Chain A
Amino acid sequence: MTISTELVLFIIVGVISVASAMFMLLSTNAVHSALFLILNLTTVAFLYLMLEAPFIALVQIAVYAGAIMVLFLFVIMLLGAERLADDEEPQSESSLFGPLAEGGSNQLFAGLVLTIAFALVAGYAVAQGEVELQPQVAHNPELRVAHAAAGIGAVDILLDGELVAEDVNFADSETAEYFELDAGEHTLTINATGTEDTLLSESLTLANDEVKTAVVLIENDAPTIRLIDDDLSTLEERDNARLSFLNIFTDAEAVSVIDLGANQSLDVDDEGNVTDTVWVENLAQNDLAAPIHVPEGELTTWAIVNADTNDILYRLNREELFTVERNTSDLIVIAAEPEMNGGVRARAIPFTADAEPSFGGPESIGALLFSAYLLPFELVSLLLLVAMVGAILLTQRVSVPVEQRKRDVRRRVSRPLASVVAAQTGQNIFAESADSEAQAPGEEPQTQPAGQ
């Protein structure tokens, strides 16, 4: 049994987490409690990182361990409350951790040890790189159909006998979308549109977590299907796109994908070598090129070139379709399109799909927050606003108006005046009025408060 790095990290960080929570509870000094809670929140943030939730981990540190705990410490120091309510603490709980719970210096020492241990482990883990975790729940397979067979006209697409898309034209890249299926065997049927004429019917076996494109193409004058694995995994560089090229162009042995540069023509040196940037070289018929990563933008200077004769077959600036968007995974099919004179010419058809945003990253969370969770998000914002106003109202001192303050001063002066009068007249008018006031509220004096 090998012990993985993850297990070791989890045990160490988990122990520090539980220990700091205990010290938080046992500490007699509220400031120490708050510091232990900060350590605890930080260890939990580290566990979030191990669980592939980097965004939540950073929010935890910034909001929880930062802002909220500063508020706690501020209130503790404001009230001078770090030693308050100690007398009433039950003493029994400290018997086990007595030495640690009682001495302030022991506590500080323990906190220091825990913090240093956590810093060492976290620093080591960060230096070592990421912890691999596999999601344990599989996703359903997905399938899309790309119509790249010129000459069979518009088609209807049926999956397991059910119509899922109708009137799909050749090179219709807009409507090609993924269908989520159950794992297992499925029948894909392509009919000429609006009829029961089955052009082809094929049985496909799909396993969980697979994402595939079924490219309809013409082979030996008959439509067939080629299944291609789509790679929709997260791109490492955010503003890139992943392009794969499939060559089903029948009129050339092999093609290349070349960036022609600003002059829009193929530059060849004296020895016949192409000097422009070659992205895909010598892609033979029916081959799928390994995916390339290109930055987002328009592919206006790109062209598909016959690899043997260096003839430009197709310029990608011909249509606006070739704007590469960031974080997409695009399949570009180089297909043959019939010409008026009976020949064929090349045609590139892009089938785009969004690459998955990274799990737990700010992009995936932001996308959800502004789509499915927009209303709760607004409500929580409102709640924060109400809480802010509430905190102000709760802690606001009721300020005494200036006039009232003056009246208070005058009354204070008037009492000695009353006693002066009493001394002169021999009659204590102040005591009399005080007596009558004391009698006024109730006829009979109450011995017990109401309600008991």
Chain B
Amino acid sequence: MEIGIGAYVVLSAVLFTLGALGVMLRRNAIIVFMSVELMLNAANLAFVAFARQFNDVNGHLFVFFVITVAAAEVGIGLALIVAIFRTKKSINIDSMNQLKG
């Protein structure tokens, strides 16, 4: 039995949902960040699956760019977390509410 693109897209959707749940439920900023990485990764999986389906390498190029942007995002995000931890002594995202109106 051949598996089609559907299975890969479903897996990608499941991983994306898990990542989104992590972003919404967890309070540790670093784990929230890792959940964002999980979501990006799920999107990449869908890209590669569709690239295979349509026999088109452009999808791989997009994955390449997403990985690069994710690297930049992690660099900045972790720097922010370190800076916030210095001032607040906490990385609980509920304590980051100073901009709240």
Contact = CB atoms under 8 A, between A and B. Distances in A.
Interface string A1-34: 1111011001000100110011011000010011
A68 B76 CA distance: 12
A51 B49 contact: yes
Contacts of B69: 380, 383
B17 to A, nearest CB: 9
A89 B44 contact: no
Contacts of A81: 28, 30, 85, 91
Nearest to A57: B48
A25 B26 contact: yes
A337 interface: no
A395 B82 contact: yes
Contacts of A14: 7, 11
B1 A394 contact: no
A139 B55 contact: yes
B77 to A, nearest CB: 9
B71 A365 contact: no
Contacts of A48: 45, 48
B100 to A, nearest CB: 11
Interface residues of B, number: 66
A37 interface: yes
Given A37-B38, A47-B8, A89-B27, A384 B71 contact: yes
Contact of A75 (B18, B48, B53, B81): B81
Contacts, number: 203
Given A133-B52, A384-B71, A85 B27 contact: yes
A444 interface: no
Q: Is the interface of B mostly helix, strand, loop or mixed?
A: helix
B15 A75 contact: no
A395 B79 contact: yes
Given A25-B21, A79-B82, A18 B15 contact: yes
Contact of B68 (A7, A41, A47, A384): A384
A388 B25 CA distance: 30
Given A56-B60, A85-B28, A88-B94, A17 B1 contact: no
Nearest to A54: B60
Contacts of A22: 18
Interface in A36-83: 37, 40-41, 44, 47-48, 51-53, 55-56, 59-60, 63-64, 67-68, 71-72, 75-76, 78-79, 81
Interface stretch (A215-223, A308-316, A368-376): A368-376
Contacts of A40: 15, 38, 41
B85 A21 contact: no
A391 interface: yes
Given A7-B3, A93-B25, A139-B55, A53 B60 contact: yes
Given A79-B81, A86-B28, A365-B60, 15 more contacts: A18-B18, A21-B18, A25-B18, A30-B31, A33-B34, A44-B15, A48-B45, A68-B37, A89-B26, A359-B55, A359-B57, A380-B65, A383-B69, A384-B71, A394-B82
15 contacts: A21-B38, A24-B34, A37-B34, A41-B41, A44-B15, A56-B44, A85-B90, A85-B93, A89-B26, A136-B5, A383-B69, A390-B75, A390-B79, A391-B78, A395-B82
Interface of A: 1-4, 6-7, 10, 14, 17-18, 21-22, 24-25, 30, 33-34, 37, 40-41, 44, 47-48, 51-53, 55-56, 59-60, 63-64, 67-68, 71-72, 75-76, 78-79, 81, 84-86, 88-90, 93, 133, 135-137, 139, 359-360, 364-365, 368-369, 373, 376, 380, 383-384, 386-388, 390-392, 394-395, 451
